[in-house]
Amino acid sequence: MNVDECEGLTCSVAVTVKLISGKWKPVILYYLLDGKLRFNELQSRLSGITHRALTLQLRELERDGLVSRTIYPVIPPKVEYQLTDMGHSMKAIILAMYDWGLDYQKMQAKNTPFSKEV
């Protein structure tokens, strides 16, 4: 890996961060790894998210091709969200974030510096 290759807007790291930036996007992607979820199911899993924030984050994920939305013609309306193939391709990234966060929490609980070997 050559760090010098990562410059400005063409940097692949910047592209990835742009796609999943936002307080809730990585967590939404994490929950959708297990399959389809309805809006209220997602909202109940995301403690503290507002209806508006979830709507905006889902719209952006859909716009960027990571999440798809299926609307069923029933009353009351039923809408399901799921990962697209592109969204599923981020599985390793999302799970790595989960694992790193878990390790970080454990280190913080022990009140020791983070020094995991790579």
pLDDT digits (tens, 9 = 90+) for 54-80: 999 999 999 999 999 999 999 988 999
Which pLDDT value is given to residue 12?
A: 84
Assess whether pLDDT exceeds 60 at residue 32.
yes
Q: Is the dihedral of CA 104, 106, 107, 111 positive or negative?
A: positive
Nearest of 81, 30, 75, 33 to residue 55 by alpha carbon: 81
Which pLDDT value is given to residue 9?
A: 57
Query: Is the entire prediction scored with pTM above 0.85?
Result: no
